[in-house]
Amino acid sequence: MPDQNGASVSPGLFDGVFARGQLVADDSAWLRAMLAAEAGLARALERAGVVPAGAGAAVTGIARAGELSAADRAEIAQASALTGNPVPGLARVLARKVTDPAARSAVHRGATSQDIVDTAVMLLARDAMDAALADLRAAADAAARLAEAHHGTLMIGRTLLQQAVPVTFGVVAAGWLAGLDSAIEWLAFVRDTRLAVQFGGAAGTLASLGDDGGRVKALLAEELGLGDPPLPWHTERLRIIDVGTTAARACAALSKIARDVTLLAQTEVREVAEGSPDPGSSNTGGDRPRRGGSSAMPNKSNPVAAIAILGCAKQAPGLLATLVAAAEQEYQRAAGAWHAEWQPLGHLLQLTVSAAAWARDLLTNLEVDAQRMAANLARAGGLPLAERVTALLRESLGDPLAHELVAGAAARSAASGVPLRDVLLATPEFVQKLSEAGIGQAQVDEALDPAGYLGAADAFIAAALDAHAQG
């Protein structure tokens, strides 16, 4: 991937899994965001008449040129160790590159280091949310197509990892869709309402700018396209928590989908499989690596996208916990808690973007084996319909006795492998109770038809699709 200057840089060892998608929250991205904040401040100062005309354009030209050399970065890193954050070193380097002394007066004027870092965080968060939202929306559209296409595809429902009553794959995909749409809604809300500039100066009063402080803050927000908060939020960190929480929520929604896919793709279940966006990656010939392959077992086809989503998502709770713990910040500026936010928040944003990109891949290319679903359901021998058979006898026997009678037959069916229908009809007590209740064999067969025991599944799918369409 290219660095800030366009030079080719080798990707990190784990970037293929954890840095997929459009955002890379690495040092270069942080520097670009901080330079954007400094440039926006210079333009705001010029518009407010605090610095000479042309100063904003001069600082912006240097900041946008991306001309930080390896030596510049080393200087900033060294200064960071002396000052506790990278901004003083960055401001020094930027000021040195602005050759006009009058324009140089606009560099970092009125700001404190936290103003630049926090504003940069908001810019990074916006980029991350935009990238994640694009992929989440594509993933949601794919889930909607699956829900619609498979509204009648029967499969075994599973609760507590055990077979339950029948469902359809359509209602499973509709559940995925609802989670994705909720994640999208909240991410978009925080992006649109909670991202704001930070500009308060040394102790949150902008004293060095006098009466111009409030106007410069408003103009800075306008320049950067961020919200203008009523006052600086140096030690009021709910905006950071909001960003982190919505990122973690998105990871949670994606994690549920990925876990379902890993379970449904197990060799013994094999009801879904991951497809590939690149047909060539499934090639078994030549030297090209095969997606999902194992370093030891040539037969393996691992659900890589689902696994990668889980790898991203499982890190989110701990990172969010750090942000919440760091929100307790003393007086006007925190000693350590603010610093503790930087890496966890950047990492959380990157993981969210990566998980969303993997989910787009996963759901767009998911292969659904309807025949395998039907076969697994048939192999259950009618046991998933035991609840419905119980309902046949409920009125005449009452719940406890009806449940006990069918449970005994179900246990014998499971132990012997004989279908539940055959066990029931070979049980004299059951046949007698059916006769006493006026229930015939045809009604038993109807009760054991999974297609007739789906309840409101179609209505739920329709509701999810309608909500998605209106969202």
Catalytic machinery residues: 294, 333
Show the tokens assigned to 343.
Answer: 């890496």
CB 126 within 8 A of CB 136: no
Tell me the DSSP string of 393-444.
HHHHH-HHHHHHHHHHHHHHHHHH---HHHHHHT-HHHHHHHHHHT--HHHH
Task: Measure CA of the first residue to CA of the last residue in the chain; give whole Å.
Answer: 35
Neighbours of 455 (CB within 10 A): 11
> Rounded to the nearest 5°, which phi and psi values hold at 258?
-65, -40
Sign of CA dihedral 423, 428, 429, 433: positive
Return the ∠ at Cα 30 (arms to 25 and 36), rounded to 5°: 130
Closest by alpha carbon to 110, among 208, 214, 229? 208
Sign of CA dihedral 259, 264, 267, 269: positive
**In angstroms, rounded to a whole number, what is the distance separating the alpha carbons of residues 189 and 322?**
23
Closest by alpha carbon to 91, among 121, 68, 65? 68
Show the tokens assigned to 200.
Answer: 């308060």
